[in-house]
């Protein structure tokens, strides 16, 4: 048995994969695979409509919000958000707390003025409290990344923004893992490949009044207004990805909805963090305890700088035991366990058991 702790593309629910396998050649009695369906056909139309309706139900999305399915991943949305919104005042506030929000700010700076709300940090291990932020009341929007996949930093609050300024959130790696109040946001986006499906599509939830404010230079493929007008069918969508994502939404509904996913995420992450904290410093997590991610748990062995030899030995032992893709991101090194919705508590317990065993065998 292989247990996949990848940060993305990530583990999918086994139940969903089996359903995909069963219907791969004949999807919903159509006689063809979903990968062969015309995106203009009624057969595919029902798949996409059902997926969007299930997402609306899961998140209780208000009626004045549109759901778009676009390509280009989170990186594509770094540009799309700016192109569609920054033209209102020509400036935007970016709360940079990790690698992905830093990349988003760099992309947005090509289309307008970007204000860095926080001083540049040497390492991303915390989320400074909001009383230290420097927000511009004339900004077109305030942007933040709710969960930084690389550094394992997750916001423990929803930012308060000046009246009339939309809040934009990248939720790619913690989407549908905890309750959110959609009405507090102007735009939410999430790449599917972290927590809700295969790579290839991005979910965008955008308030209706923010549509149609794009720069004239906005490419059609990134234009919220055109995508909305064409029901996300302006170009050929990744039909297979959206089909699988729809199955994941139904799987979440069957397993307690967002509340069920949140309870599971808390239990899994607590198990690993407690193992780290009880290791007498053998394992080290650099992230401030109040903003430790429930989805991505980075840690080192031996010290804050890590012990390369021990970490390689741990990763080799994990792989031999069927636990794969635990290596930390190349920019920070170390080890990272991604505990997305599809990862079970039992699988997480196996990782915790390995960590305890490895500590006992290698402590000084």
| Catalytic (active-site) positions | 100, 170, 194
Q: Distance between CA atoms of 26 and 40, rounded to whole angstroms?
A: 18
Closest CA to 57 of 253, 243, 350: 253
With b for 16 or more beta-carbon neighbours within 10 A and e for fewer, the 68-84 pattern comes to bbbbbbbebbbbbbbbb
- Bridge partners for 66 per DSSP: 206
Residues 6 or more apart whose Cβ sits within 8 Å of residue 206:
65, 66, 68, 186, 187, 224, 228
DSSP per-residue string spanning 14-80: HHHHHHHHHHSSSGGGSSS-GGGS-TTSHHHHHHHHHHHHHHHHHHT--TTEEEEEESSHHHHHHHH
Q: Distance between CA atoms of 87 and 108, rounded to whole angstroms?
A: 11
């Amino acid at each position: 048995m292989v247990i996949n702790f990848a940060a993305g593309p990530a583990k999918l629910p086994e139940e969903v994969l089996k359903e995909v396998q069963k219907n791969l050649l004949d999807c919903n009695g159509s006689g063809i695979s979903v990968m062969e369906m015309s995106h203009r056909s009624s057969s595919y139309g029902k798949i996409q409509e059902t997926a969007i309706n299930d997402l609306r139900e899961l998140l209780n999305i208000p009626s004045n919000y549109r759901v778009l399915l676009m390509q280009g991943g989170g990186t594509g949305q770094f540009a799309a958000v700016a192109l569609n919104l920054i033209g209102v005042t020509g400036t935007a506030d970016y709360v940079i707390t990790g690698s992905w929000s830093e990349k988003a700010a760099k992309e947005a700076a090509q289309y307008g003025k970007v204000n860095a709300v926080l001083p540049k940090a040497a390492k991303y291990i915390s989320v400074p409290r909001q009383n230290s932020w420097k927000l511009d009341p004339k900004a077109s929007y305030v942007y933040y990344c709710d969960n930084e996949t690389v550094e394992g930093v997750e916001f423990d609050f929803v930012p308060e923004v000046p009246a009339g300024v939309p809040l934009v959130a990248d939720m790619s790696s913690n989407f549908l893992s905890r309750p959110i109040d959609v009405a507090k946001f102007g735009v939410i986006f999430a790449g599917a490949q972290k927590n809700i499906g295969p790579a290839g599509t991005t979910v965008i939830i955008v308030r209706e009044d923010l549509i149609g404010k794009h720069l004239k230079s906005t490419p059609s493929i990134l234009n919220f207004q055109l995508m909305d007008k064409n029901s996300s069918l302006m170009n050929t969508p990744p039909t297979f990805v959206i089909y699988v994502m729809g199955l994941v939404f139904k799987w979440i509904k069957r397993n307690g909805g967002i509340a069920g996913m949140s309870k599971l995420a808390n239990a899994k992450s607590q198990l690993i963090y407690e193992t780290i904290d009880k290791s007498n410093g053998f394992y080290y997590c650099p992230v401030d305890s109040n903003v430790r991610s429930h989805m991505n748990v980075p840690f080192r062995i031996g010290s804050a700088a890590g012990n390369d030899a021990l970490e390689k030995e741990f990763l080799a032992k994990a792989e031999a035991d069927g636990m794969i893709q635990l290596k930390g991101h190349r920019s920070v090194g170390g080890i990272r366990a991604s505990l997305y919705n599809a990862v079970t508590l039992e699988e997480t317990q196996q990782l915790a058991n390995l960590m305890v065993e490895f500590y006992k065998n290698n402590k000084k």
